[in-house]
Amino acid sequence: MMQHVARRGIHQLQRLNAAKVPADVIEKGQNRVIDASLTLIRESAKLKGELVRALGGAKATSSLLGVPLGHNSSFLEGPAFAPPLIREAIWCGSTNASTEQGKEIDDPRVLTDVGDLPVQEMREAGVMDDRLMDIVSDSVKLVMEQEPLRPLVLGGDHSISYPVVRAVSEKLGGPVDILHLDAHPDIYHEFEGNKYSHASSFARIMEGGYARRLLQVGIRSINREGREQGKKFGVEQYEMRTFSKDRHYLENLKLGEGVKGVYISIDVDCLDPAFAHGVSHFEPGGLSFRDVLNILHNLQGDIVAADVVEFNPQRDTADGMTAMVAAKLVREVTARMSKPN
Ligand SMILES: [Mn+2]
């Protein structure tokens, strides 16, 4: 099976080393692959920015950026395969282009797409995480350089939120407020020795000062470290066990005032597994799809970037039910983020 897709890159590097390919040759080759990868995103973003402006422009256009990275998962690596399947479901002929609140996603001023960062190609070239995370940040900044594009990142496992949020905050010049929907707080200092683990991304984000407020919603798998880390960083953790009491507040959020805006991070496993089977970690007792839509539809704030992560196609039903769920999350976030003229 392809569950350990990402180990390949490491093996390639070991073989290159064992075959006595000189280190400077490997490094130069890696640099060329990285340059080509970022050139693809830069040129795609430039073209899509030109298209949006030529069509009359927008104050904000949400732009898909796929980051097919799954190897920082502590369990299954299937999210590496998610972005193309989410795209396929976004444009599935079984539904139309209107979002629930009436935005048309087939208008490029509402939704555009710069493609996938070639993560696996760089891993094949032996590029390791310290550098890969910087490259993810660079790709996000390349999208943001093309006004009025705003990144809507398709994961990938949740580790990508750290380099994405970091890039957004650095580019905008200050912290954002984060609405984080998830069964898990993903705030371990590190997990199994991996500081880039998908279970640690929000520890890195809070340490970096990239968020003023972090609201975690849907939480139902949290241990002592998760609570202690939450307290240490001043995280507002809304657990499912009190959701009926918190619902009114969470369905009327106003965020992002006095900072650079709002970032939304949606782990598909925030949903109850009854609604979303295609995830790595089944955690019963979660949000309904309508709960999530109510939170998103009523959120007041300027959404500057977002991600939808942890959809695992290798756990989905044969007819791709969770791909449709992830796609609808992307469509509805798109509708809240974009501001066509
Ligand atoms: Mn999760």
**pLDDT tens-place string over residues 326-335:** 999 999 999 9
Between 267 and 93, where is the model more confident? 267
pLDDT, mean of residues 169-185: 98
272 is in an annotated binding site: no
Residue 1 pLDDT exceeds 70? no
- How confident is the model at residue 269, as a pLDDT? 98
Beta strands in the chain (DSSP E): 58-67, 111-116, 149-155, 176-181, 211-219, 236-239, 262-267, 303-309, 339-340
CA 305–ligand 1 middle distance (angstroms) = 19
* Residue in 328, 301, 310, 298 with CA at minimum distance from that of residue 269: 310
CA 295–ligand 1 middle distance (angstroms) = 18
182 is in an annotated binding site: yes
CA 280–ligand 1 middle distance (angstroms) = 8
CA 279–ligand 1 middle distance (angstroms) = 9
Residue 182 pLDDT exceeds 90? yes
Between 209 and 124, where is the model more confident? 209
* Average pLDDT of the residues of the chain: 95
* pLDDT category of residue 295 using cuts at 50, 70 and 90: very high
Residue 78 pLDDT exceeds 80? yes
Mean pLDDT check: name the lowest of 7-11, 97-101, 143-147, 248-252.
7-11
CA 41–ligand 1 middle distance (angstroms) = 28
* pLDDT category of residue 192 using cuts at 50, 70 and 90: confident
CA 42–ligand 1 middle distance (angstroms) = 30
Exposed, middle or buried by CB within 10 Å (0-12, 13-18, 19+), for 264? buried
Q: What is the rounded distance in angstroms from the CA atom of residue 72 to the CA atom of residue 327?
A: 23
Q: pTM of the entire structure?
A: 0.96
Q: What is the rounded distance in angstroms from the CA atom of residue 231 to the CA atom of residue 228?
A: 5
Contact criterion met (CB below 8 Å) for 166 and 210: yes
* pLDDT category of residue 3 using cuts at 50, 70 and 90: very low
CA 85–ligand 1 middle distance (angstroms) = 19
- How confident is the model at residue 2, as a pLDDT? 47
* pLDDT category of residue 15 using cuts at 50, 70 and 90: confident
- How confident is the model at residue 73, as a pLDDT? 86
The CA R_g of the chain, rounded to the nearest whole Å, is 19
Around Cβ 157, how many Cβ atoms within 10 Å?
33
Q: Map tokens 């904000």 to a residue.
A: 60
184 is in an annotated binding site: yes
According to DSSP, the residues that pair with 271 across neighbouring strands are: 287
107 is in an annotated binding site: no
Token couple for 133:
């995370």
